[in-house]
Amino acid sequence: MDHYDMLESKSIYIIREAYYRFRNIAMLWSVGKDSTTLLWLIRKAFFGKIPFPIIHIDTSYKFPEMYQFRDRLSKEWGFELIVGRNEEKLAEGMGPGKGMKLECCTELKTNALKQVIKKYGFKAIFLGIRRDEHGIRAKERYFSPRDEQFQWDYENQPAEIWDQYKSFLYAEEHYRVHPILHFTELDIWQYIKREGLPIVDLYLSKEGKRYRSIGCVPCCSPIESSASTIDDIIEEVRTSKQSERAGRAQDKENIYTMQKLRALGYM
């Protein structure tokens, strides 16, 4: 078994265990490379037929390429797609240009997802987050006292790890399951290459620029890059010092600052 078989089988084990425990489960798909990889792993775990719905949260500000990719793949891979939109806030004109970005993310992503979870009564959600993705998320958990235990649980009792990885995004009544937590950014690209997975072509360089992380148009900016194939990207990621989300909105720090202040009752 090589490295990627190991990563894969770990993920598949978690996916199957989660499905066994929570039949009323769904997966959150951002259309980005990580959650598309997760989607592929889920497909593999159930021999090509995904037995639960896939949720896409549509802020209405995504790249057109992302919508096309979403619709194409859901048809090709034949899964049930739930599109979640916070229609009320969209009707009020909520958008990144309005106030702080956190408010926009909260309404159009978090609350839209909450609405979907409530409507369908999901008990657990699969998410494609990775431990190395962003310092704030990973690091704090990494330092968490239960992390040692987590390592052990990871192999033996996946049911208990899930509530260790509470993500700030979602209400408390459901579990979050993170089957690709142990993948690094480089692992993802190597795995995409090995499996021949489709990706949104925004990741590939056009006129000297490419997106390393994709989301809503106003909050993403491309990085300087000539990587126009997956192989080029692998080489770039291997040698890059810049953080993956460096192209995301500058006030990401403000968002986290506000979150921390609010957690203590300020703001």
Q: Using DSSP bridges, classify how beta strands 25-28 and 54-57 pair: parallel, antiparallel or unpaired.
A: parallel
Q: How far is the CB of 188 from another protein (least distance, A)?
A: 22
If one asks whether residue 97 binds another protein (CB under 8 A), the answer comes out as no
Select from 100, 155, 226, 229 the one that contacts another protein (CB under 8 A): 100
Taking the C-alpha atoms of residue 158 and residue 125, their distance in angstroms, rounded to an integer, is: 14
Query: What Cα–Cα distance (Å) separates residue 204 from each residue in 5, 106, 254?
Result: 26, 29, 29
If one asks whether residue 261 binds another protein (CB under 8 A), the answer comes out as yes
> In the complex with another protein, which residue's Cβ is closer, 118 or 260?
260
Q: Mask 128-167, x = binds another protein (CB under 8 A)? A: -------xx--xxx-xxxx----------------x--x-
For helices 3-21 and 185-195, give the axis angle rounded to 10 degrees.
Answer: 90
Q: How far is the CB of 221 from another protein (least distance, A)?
A: 18
> In the complex with another protein, which residue's Cβ is closer, 47 or 143?
143
Residues 6 or more apart in contact with residue 92 via CB below 8 angstroms? none
Residues 6 or more apart in contact with residue 74 via CB below 8 angstroms? 54, 81
Report which of 33, 76, 70 is spatially closest to residue 237, judged by C-alpha positions. 33
> In the complex with another protein, which residue's Cβ is closer, 232 or 251?
251
Name the burial class of residue 112, with classes exposed (0-12), middle (13-18) and buried (19+) by CB atoms within 10 angstroms of its CB.
buried
Select from 168, 194, 208, 235 the one that contacts another protein (CB under 8 A): 168
What is the torsion angle, in degrees rounded to the nearest 10, for the CA atoms of residue 65, residue 71, residue 72 and residue 78?
A: 150
If one asks whether residue 264 binds another protein (CB under 8 A), the answer comes out as yes
> In the complex with another protein, which residue's Cβ is closer, 78 or 99?
99
If one asks whether residue 91 binds another protein (CB under 8 A), the answer comes out as no
Q: How far is the CB of 8 from another protein (least distance, A)?
A: 28
- Compute how many other C-beta atoms are within 10 angstroms of the C-beta atom of residue 245: 16
Select from 103, 201, 232, 244 the one that contacts another protein (CB under 8 A): 103
Taking the C-alpha atoms of residue 246 and residue 242, their distance in angstroms, rounded to an integer, is: 7
Name the burial class of residue 1, with classes exposed (0-12), middle (13-18) and buried (19+) by CB atoms within 10 angstroms of its CB.
exposed
If one asks whether residue 267 binds another protein (CB under 8 A), the answer comes out as yes
If one asks whether residue 254 binds another protein (CB under 8 A), the answer comes out as yes
Q: Mask 116-135, x = binds another protein (CB under 8 A)? A: -------------------x
Structure tokens at 180: 């690709």
> In the complex with another protein, which residue's Cβ is closer, 88 or 253?
253
If one asks whether residue 98 binds another protein (CB under 8 A), the answer comes out as yes
> In the complex with another protein, which residue's Cβ is closer, 151 or 229?
151
Interface residues with another protein (CB under 8 A) are 92, 98-100, 103, 135-136, 139-141, 143-146, 163, 166, 168, 172, 253-254, 256-261, 263-267
